[in-house]
Structure 1
Amino acid sequence: MIKEPDITDGKNTHIGGEKNLQRTLSNRHIQLISIGGAIGVGLFMGSGKTLSAAGTSIILVYAIIGFFVFVTMRAMGELLLSNLNYKSFADFCSYYLGPVAGYYVGWSYWLAWVVVVVGECIVVAGYAKFWFPGLSPWLPAFGMLGLLFLMNAVSVKIFGEMEFWFALTKILAIVALLAVGVYLISIAYVSSTGVTAALSNITDTEVFMPHGLMGFFAGFQIAVFSFAGIELIGTTAAETKDPEKNLPKAINAVPVRIMVFYLLSLSCIVAVSSWSQITPDSSPFVQFFVLAGLPMAAGVINLIVLVAAMSSANSGLFCTSRILYGLATDKNAPVYFTQLSKRSTPMRSLAFTVLCISLGLATLFVVPDVMTAFILVSTMSAILFIFVWAMILLSYLSYRTRAPHLHAASRYKMSGGTPLVLATLAFFAFAIVLLSLEADTRNGLLVMPIWFILLGFTYRRHSSKLKANEIA
């Protein structure tokens, strides 16, 4: 039987070695990091495709996905707080589901964020053409990656500060959109295309499911990716001040964020610009301000999309380096990656991740179209995130069976319990099936089994090596 780790003192996370990860992320950092995970390029850019496919029913799509993702976050929160020695969800997956589960979850989550950062760099390369049409896509992509590497290499506090301001910028952009939208609806503004801003544009039955039930289902495909990263607060557990107070506060705010940042913003866009004016290959946020007669504001939103991409990539570099570091300390990755810098940052893990992302940017040559490349990488990452979410829920089910005393003592119990977790797992299985319905997302789905086969092969070699070392 796997021995459960001891509880830490709540200040620093002990995971072996002379240096430890430091609890330097405050409540405001955790709150904004969790918001940053909820607002990304999937919303600012990908919502154009979801709107064109599902019409105004996309609002219902986001609400459904948001509900089940919140269930997952609550389950994760109860598990993390049941033992403060857990550095991330990979740790409790190892304990409750076995070491092979921790191995699969850790490496899959690492790859998920590597793929996301590649996607964000691709988006930056595409949007840089707004200002520099003739610029090679390699320059902005690698320029952003280099800048974020330097910020993450300094210290976790610098990461927290940068993500705080990145997330705040995205929030202000959405608040501005809501304010402009409410004003235009109140004066029944008529756009240059002849569309009158009105709430009836949302409630019009002809645009609720313009492509029928299949269009509604297609909306789930990219919408799932929009929520990828909302679990990011689970990877900050080892570096969070007062986790018993700050983690629940951040998780509990998820429903409000979903309502404001997803449902209200998309409702405003449809009310002002009409579903018929939304094109799938560009940001509906940019289109909103253009149709509102504010082209200068549209240029600012282009900049906001770049900030959203930088924010997501910044978060990705943070969590991939911590996940790889955690895998190494648990002997699921080379011990080389356990080395911390003088500022207690996992520098070697960070550098290796940046190298892998750099190799992944070859996508810009293989698939030169930005949106096509974005759909491919977003599908691959969505599958990996769904896998991680499902493993969190399976760990929760094992926790309820194996540690009922911890659940009884928990001050952060998940409402709904086992039945709700089973319903959420069924929904995630349904979401995977939906990815096979469209050709552009089916390609990503067909590629992913290769990764899990590779993990199985490497785990067999890894476990054999560990056993050989124990015998020796």
Structure 2
Amino acid sequence: MEQTTFKRAMKQRHLMLLSFGGVIGTGLFLSSGYTLQQAGPLGTVLSYVIGSILVYLVMLCLGQLAIKHPVTGGFHVYASKYIHPAVGYIVAWFYWLTWTVALGSEFTAVGLLMQKWLPDIPVYIFATIAIILVLVFNIISTRFYAEVEFYFSLVKVIAIIVFILLGILVIIGLIHYTGYQGLHTITQRYTNPTFPHGLGSVFLTMLAVNYAFSGTELIGIAAGEAEEPEKVIPKAIRATLWRLIVFFIGTIIIISILIPSYQGKSLKSPFVVIFQEMGIPYAGDIMNIVIITALLSAANSGLYAASRMIWSLSNEGMFPKWFGHLNKYQMPIRATLFSMIGGLLALLSSVYVADSLYVVLVSIAGLAVVIVWMSICVSYFNAKRIDQSLKIHQAVPIIGFTLCLVSCIGMIFDPNQAPALYFGLPFAVLALAYYYIKYNKKGDA
């Protein structure tokens, strides 16, 4: 079904910064500390290099599919068309799960970081304020949302550029950094030990790294609201990918050199630690503000993605039509409010063991997005068999699918991430069962 009910109000700059908004959040600013702790400096760099290759391959496939079918909520449409309607149904719900769970982690992280200044105020108070803000951004209009996200994302992009430049100045010896002794420190970080928990830790942390890269696929979600999608989408994907790879790899190399792996904490941002060690006045506070902005931005993108997926399901007849309603400004208010369930997860996790639940939330979101990426690879592989004019070789989705599968297998052996399976697999089974009970009767399968 051709989806033409949304305004095509997004330009290339909106698409690029929308993707940045989804990607540059807790995964880079906070979860990188967890990866560093588990895999060590060299292992962390390798994890992010492999993650970069994986996301590049997946986005090549997505770009071709989005140009061929520029629809809102594209992933489940592609999976339904090129794999099976039941798979499309599960993909839609997994992607919704990715972002609603991610909302929980973003809002919880905002509350935890705000306690740096106001330790006596409960985390859930800050989480509630963040929920209200993000909800307002998402219910006014598509263009308003896109503009807010553009400037939110611009703040953190500038912050990362500054971080990388200052990090380079430290590494070449032009800025003093406590404990840094040039080549001796670099050698020690990468070789003493090379892999503190063994080479296998590189693969065990791949799911957390994939979560850090999740959000690049938002360009595919927004295809139905982009101006001239056939021109804008490929440009936005190419520009976004290269910038993200430079930002992520550059940032991780600096973090891995300047922070010993044993100092990596899942809830203590490596960015804040490094700026404090540089001795820059109020740098920790400034970076805290930037990170909070980044978290709000990622949540903003997340609510957008989740609401569009619910709307798309409704539009395809796989969810009650009530959720497909658009208001006079052509915004899916009902789908947006439903998707804010992730905000309730934030409140629960901030009241009940926020520190330990955070990694579990990230793992669930990581598993869900990897399953979505796998569906993109399979969808493109099948689409290429039908339409040989598609430009990307079939080896690309095969390699991408294999790397995704490796990261899923790796999580089984990581006790911090394995709980995601206990939630993710039953969720998939329930979604599949519901699909066949509800929709197979209509001959949709």
Identify whether the pair has TM-score above 0.5, normalized to the shorter chain: yes
Tell me whether 205-214 or 339-348 shows the greater mean CA deviation: 205-214
Q: Give 1:463's aligned residue.
A: 439
1:219 aligns with 2:205: yes
Return the letter of the residue paired with 2:384: R
- What's the offset of the Cα at 1:309? 1.0
1:293 to 273, 279, 293: 279
Residue 165 of structure 2 aligns with an amino acid whose one-letter code is A
1:384 aligned residue = 368
**276, 291, 304: which is aligned to 1:305?**
291
Tell me the residue number matched to 1:142.
Answer: 128
Per-residue deviation, 1:207? 4.5
Q: CA deviation at 1:45?
A: 0.3
Find the counterpart in structure 1 of residue 16 from structure 2. 31
Partner of 1:258: 244
The answer to whether 1:153 aligns with 2:129 is no
Counterpart amino acid of residue 454 in structure 1:
L
Q: Label 1:211 to 1:349 Cα distance change in 2 as closer, same or farther (>3 A).
A: same
Match of 1:170, SS state, is: helix
SS at match of 1:32: helix
Summarize the Cα distance change of 1:216–1:97 in structure 2 as closer, same or farther, 3 Å threshold: closer
In structure 2, how many angstroms separate the alpha carbons of the residues matched to 1:199 and 1:189?
Answer: 16
Q: Is the 8 A contact 1:122 1:141 kept in 2?
A: yes
Cα distance, 1:188 vs structure 2? 5.7
Amino acid in the other structure paired with 1:119: S
Inter-partner Cα distance in structure 1 for 2:311 and 2:114 = 33
**Is 1:333 paired with 2:319?**
yes
Identity of aligned residues (%): 28
Other-structure match for 1:17: none
Gaps of 5+ in 1: 7-12, 15-19
Which structure 2 segments of 5+ residues have no match?
none
| 1:87-102 → structure 2 map (5 Å cutoff) | 87-102=73-88
Equivalent position amino acid for 1:386 in 2:
V
SS in structure 2 at match of 1:201: helix
Letter in 2 for 1:46: S
- The answer (yes or no) to whether the contact 1:190–1:196 under 8 Å persists in 2 is no
Q: 2:394 aligns with which of 418, 424, 443?
A: 418
TM-score after normalising by structure 2:
0.94
Q: Are positions 1:105 and 2:91 aligned together? A: yes
Q: Secondary structure at the match of 1:48?
A: helix
Structure 2 CA distance, aligned partners of 1:437 and 1:445?
11
Q: For 1:354-383, what per-residue CA distance to the aligned partner results, in whole angstroms no more than 9, with x for missing partners?
A: 2453256322233x233x222101110111
Change (3 A) 1:85 1:234: closer
Distance, in Å, in 2 between the alignment partners of 1:301 and 1:198 is 27
Q: CA distance change for structure 1 residues 217 and 101 in 2, over 3 Å: closer, same or farther?
A: closer
> SS in structure 1 opposite 2:192?
helix
Superposition map of 1:120-131 within 5 A: 120-131=106-117
Q: Which residue of 1 aligns with 2:387?
A: 403
Cα deviation, residue 183, structure 1? 2.1
| Residue 467 to residue 67, structure 1, CA distance change in 2 (3 Å) | closer
1:180-199 matches, within 5 Å, as 180-187=166-173, 189-192=175-178, 194-198=179-183
SS at match of 2:121: coil
Query: Aligned match of 2:408 in 427, 432, 450?
Result: 432
Structure number with greater Rg is: 1
How many equivalent pairs are there? Answer: 442
How far 1:199 sits from its partner (Å)? Answer: 8.2
CA distance in 2, matches of 1:182, 1:247: 33
Are 1:374 and 2:323 counterparts?
A: no
Query: SS in structure 2 opposite 1:361?
Result: helix
Name the residue aligned to 1:174: 160
Would the alpha carbon gap of residues 390 and 204 (structure 1) be closer, same or farther in structure 2, given more than 3 Å must change?
Answer: closer
Q: CA RMSD in A?
A: 2.1
1:51 aligns with 2:36: yes
Contact 2:275 2:283 in 1 (8 A): yes
Distance 2:53 2:342 in 1: 33
